[in-house]
Structure 1
Amino acid sequence: MGTLLMTGASRGLGREAAEQLLRDHPDQHLLLTVRGANGDRLATELAGKTGNRNVSTVSADLASFADIRKAVQEIERRIDVGELPPLTGFLGNAGLQMVSTTRATEDGFEATFGVNVLANYLLLRLLFDRFERGSRIVVVGSDVHFGDFKHSGGLIPAPRWTTVAELARPRPGGVREGRRAYATSKLAVLYLVHALARRLPDGVDGYTYNPGLVPGTGLVRDADPVSRFAARTVLQLARATPFAMGPVAAGRLLAKTAMGPRPGASGSYLDRGKAVPSSPESYDEAREEDLWAAAAQLCGLPAEVR
Structure 2
Amino acid sequence: MQHTVVMTGASRGIGRVAAEHILRRSPDVHLLVVTRGSAGARLLTELATGGHTVSHVSADLGSLRSVHSAATGIRDRLADGELPPLRGFVGNAGVQYTNALTEGPDGFESTFAVNVLANHLFVRLLQDRFAAPARIVITASDTHFGDFRHTMGMVPGPVWKSPDVLARTGAFPRPDSTAAGRTAYSTSKLATIYLVHEYARRLPAGIDALAYNPGFVPGTGLARDAGPASRFAMRRVLPMMTLTPFATSRRAAGRHLAEVVLGTTTAPTGAYVDRGRVARSSAESYDPRRERELWEAAERFTAAYAL
Aligned to 2:181, the other structure's residue is in SS state helix
The 8 Å contact of residues 23 and 52 in structure 1, kept in 2 or not, is answered as no
Instruction: Provide structure 2 residue ranges, at least 5 long, that are not aligned to the other structure.
Output: none
Residue of structure 2 equivalent to 1:128: 127
- Whole-Å separation in 2 of the counterparts to 1:289 and 1:220: 31
| 1:33-44 alignment runs, 5 A limit | 33-44=34-45
Change (3 A) 1:228 1:262: closer
Aligned to 1:151, the other structure's residue is in SS state helix
The 8 Å contact of residues 118 and 295 in structure 1, kept in 2 or not, is answered as yes
- Whole-Å separation in 1 of the counterparts to 2:51 and 2:148: 42
Residue of structure 1 equivalent to 2:224: 221
Change (3 A) 1:200 1:24: same
Q: Does 1:148 align with 2:152?
A: no
Change (3 A) 1:234 1:302: closer
Aligned to 1:233, the other structure's residue is in SS state helix
Q: Does 1:191 align with 2:194?
A: yes
Residue of structure 1 equivalent to 2:60: 61
Instruction: Provide structure 1 residue ranges, at least 5 long, that are not aligned to the other structure.
Output: none
Q: Does 1:248 align with 2:251?
A: yes
How many Å apart are 1:233 and its aligned residue?
2.4
TM-score by length of structure 1 reads: 0.96
Q: Per-residue CA shift, 1:157-213, capped at 9, x if unaligned?
A: 110001101101011331001001101000000001001110111111100000001
- Whole-Å separation in 2 of the counterparts to 1:262 and 1:215: 23
State the Cα RMSD in Å: 1.4
The 8 Å contact of residues 88 and 134 in structure 1, kept in 2 or not, is answered as yes
Write the letter of the residue equivalent to 1:238.
Answer: M
The 8 Å contact of residues 112 and 188 in structure 2, kept in 1 or not, is answered as yes
How many Å apart are 1:262 and its aligned residue?
5.0
How many residues end up aligned between the 2 structures? 301
The 8 Å contact of residues 212 and 275 in structure 2, kept in 1 or not, is answered as yes
Which stretch of the first structure deviates more once superposed, 290-299 or 249-258? 249-258
Write the letter of the residue equivalent to 2:35.
Answer: V
Write the letter of the residue equivalent to 1:92.
Answer: G
| 1:43-192 alignment runs, 5 A limit | 43-48=44-49, 51-171=50-170, 172-192=175-195
- Whole-Å separation in 1 of the counterparts to 2:267 and 2:81: 32
Aligned to 1:219, the other structure's residue is in SS state helix
How many Å apart are 1:139 and its aligned residue?
0.1
TM-score by length of structure 2 reads: 0.95
- Whole-Å separation in 1 of the counterparts to 2:58 and 2:235: 30
Aligned to 1:300, the other structure's residue is in SS state helix
Write the letter of the residue equivalent to 1:112.
Answer: T
- Whole-Å separation in 1 of the counterparts to 2:185 and 2:79: 37
Percent identical among aligned pairs is 54
- Whole-Å separation in 2 of the counterparts to 1:128 and 1:80: 13
Which runs of structure 1 show a deviation greater than 6 angstroms over 4 or more consecutive aligned residues?
none
Residue of structure 2 equivalent to 1:269: 272
- Whole-Å separation in 1 of the counterparts to 2:126 and 2:232: 39
Aligned to 2:20, the other structure's residue is in SS state helix
